[in-house]
Structure 1
Amino acid sequence: MKRIALALFSTLAIATSGAHAVEYNQVQAEKSQIGFGYQQMGVSMEGAFRQFSSQLRFDPAAPEASSALIEVALASIDTGSEEGDEEAARKTWFNTQDFPSARFESTAVRALGADQYEVAGKLTIKGTTRDVVVPARFTPQGETGVFEGSLTIQRGDFSIGEGAWRAFDVVANEVVIRFRIVAATQ
Structure 2
Amino acid sequence: MKHRFPTCYVLVAALAFAALPCVQAAEYTQVNETASTISFTYKQFSSQVYGTFGKFEATLDFDTAKPSAAHAALTIQLDSIDAGSSDANSELKKPAWFDTATYPVATFVSTGVKVLGNNRYSITGKLTLRGITHVVEVPVLLKSVNAIGIFDGQLTLKRSDFKIGEGEWADGVVSDKINIRFRMVAPQR
TM over 0.5: yes
In 2, Cα distance between the equivalents of 1:139 and 1:61? 15
The C-alpha deviation readout for 1:87-112, integer Å capped at 9, x for no partner, is 00000000000000000100000110
When normalised by structure 2's length, the TM-score is 0.85
Partner of 1:120: 124
Unaligned runs of 5+ in 2: 1-23
The C-alpha deviation readout for 1:18-59, integer Å capped at 9, x for no partner, is xx7531011101110000000001111100000000000111
Shift of 1:162: 1.4
Pick from 172, 175, 182 the counterpart of residue 179 of structure 1: 182
Pick from 115, 120, 139 the counterpart of residue 135 of structure 1: 139
Q: How many residues in Structure 1 have an aligned counterpart in Structure 2?
A: 166
Partner of 1:4: none
In 2, Cα distance between the equivalents of 1:166 and 1:92? 10
Unaligned runs of 5+ in 1: 1-19
When normalised by structure 1's length, the TM-score is 0.87
In 1, Cα distance between the equivalents of 2:168 and 2:86? 21
Determine which structure has more spread, i.e. the larger CA radius of gyration. 2
In 1, Cα distance between the equivalents of 2:65 and 2:131? 35
Shift of 1:134: 0.3
The C-alpha deviation readout for 1:63-91, integer Å capped at 9, x for no partner, is 10101000000000000101110000000
Partner of 1:47: 51
Is 1:64 equivalent to 2:68 in the alignment? yes
In 1, Cα distance between the equivalents of 2:167 and 2:42? 19
